[in-house]
Amino acid sequence: MRIVCLLLCSPALACAAQLVPPAGFTKALPPHRMQGKCIDLPAPYTAPLEFRSKYDGSDGARATLNPEAEQAFHSSTQPIVDFERGISQMIWRYKYSGDVDTLNCIVAGYQRWAEANALTATRTNHTGRAMRKWALATLATGWVELKFMPETPLNHTQHIDRWLGLLADQVVNDWDGLPLEKTNNHSYWAAWSVMATAVALDRHDLFAWSEKMYRIAAGQIEMEGTLPNERKRRGRAVAYHNYALQPLVMIASFAGANGVDLLAENHFALRRLANYVLREDKQDLQWLAPYCTLTKCDNVTISLRDDHRPLKNRRLGGDLTALYSP
């Protein structure tokens, strides 16, 4: 019998347990704290993913914003951002209201973009590929929340699953195999978007890729807690260390929910990065909500976390205070 079980659970037969999110993603929230609401969503974005960078014309540090290019970037990417924002807002309205009409609006929005194969253009540039993985981070975490929320009826959503899987495969193709000198916060955000998709779709191949990318990132974190490719940003280096930290904390959180301890990787590299960011930057502390469930935060850090509540970021899951309540 033992031989049979070993054969049935061989790696080739993919006998792994179903992937799950952290516990906060699966719990019911107090109802009637919000009214349900449908939000008008933009038409599916099917054009090439080619956008100007906000730092167009800057030197090698990419630390000087170009106002004209920034305006062009925001204008051209507005439909994608509005779709992300609308989906995230409706998901949280549904979570706090249980309003079925709101749920139907959410699913219909996903469905329209899925059926149009939105965001799957192969004509891209660096900024376009960045937008694809940022959008996937919002959409995949939102889909995790709906799939794992108790008593949420999701019917006939195969097109959505297929589309999110296709986006994740493209993100892997966009960001896999870069040389270390080009592996930075963009790669970490790509890995986070893929991790969220892995859990939403129970895709162990995507989970393994995200885990691989986390280990690469942890290996880049130096003893003083800095990342060499973020230090290159000079005047914006601290902000980009913070930005690089956010997806890494979420990957570690989702990995931990599935029995994979990434916190100790490279002699607790994530802790070194977090300590560096806390010394240098007390803004954008959304990551503290999941981080203080991964490790025992001291009283000063816990107070800092609590003083900044509610901690929210749609690309990390929305209301992180609610998802990671102590």
For the stretch 173-228, pLDDT in tens is: 999 999 999 999 999 999 999 999 999 999 999 999 999 999 999 999 999 999 99
| Secondary structure class of 210 (helix, strand, coil) | helix
Distance between CA atoms of residues 122 and 47, nearest Å: 10
What is the total count of domains within the chain?
1
Task: Tally Cβ neighbours within 10 Å of residue 298.
Answer: 9
Of 150, 143, 187, nearest to 317 (Cα)? 143
Residue 8 lies in a domain: no
**Is pLDDT at 7 greater than 60 in this prediction?**
no
Residue 141 binned pLDDT confidence (cut-offs 50, 70, 90): very high
153 preceded by cis ω (within 30°)? no
In a domain, 13, yes or no: no
**74 part of a folded domain:** yes
pLDDT at 3: 36
Looking at residue 34, the DSSP 8-state letter turns out to be: S
Q: Are 113 and 43 in contact (CB under 8 A)?
A: no
N-terminal to C-terminal alpha carbon distance within the chain: 43
320 Cβ contact list (under 8 Å, min separation 6): 286, 289, 290, 310, 311, 312, 313
Q: How far apart are CA 166 and CA 172, in angstroms?
A: 10
In this predicted structure, what is the pLDDT of residue 293? 97
What CATH number is given to the structural domain containing 134? 1.50.10.100
Structure tokens at 69: 């290019």
Domain that holds residue 80: 21-323
Considering Cα of 97, then 158, then 39, then 284, what sign does the dihedral take? positive
Instruction: Evaluate whether residue 51 is within a structural domain.
Output: yes
Q: What 8-state DSSP symbol labels residue 49?
A: B
CA dist list (Å): 109 to 38, 87, 223: 10, 8, 45
SS3 state of residue 318: strand
Asked if the structure places residue 3 within a domain, the reply is no
**Other Cβ atoms closer than 10 A to 268:** 15
13 or 237, which is more confident: 237
What mean pLDDT comes out for the span 291-303?
97
Note whether 139 and 316 are within 8 A (CB): no
Asked if the structure places residue 315 within a domain, the reply is yes
In whole angstroms, give the CA distance from residue 227 to residue 220.
6
Residue with tokens 């009826």: 153
Domain-embedded: residue 14: no
pLDDT digits (tens, 9 = 90+) for 37-72: 999 999 999 999 999 988 786 666 566 677 888 899
pLDDT tens per residue, range 266-281:
999 999 999 999 999 8
| Cβ–Cβ < 8 Å for 206, 195 | yes
Of the candidates 200, 207, 271, 274, the residue with the CA atom closest to the CA atom of residue 242: 274
* Residue 153 belongs to a domain: yes
> What stretches of 116-264 show up as alpha helix (H) in DSSP?
126-148, 158-175, 185-201, 204-220, 228-231, 237-257
* Structure tokens, 136: 């996937």
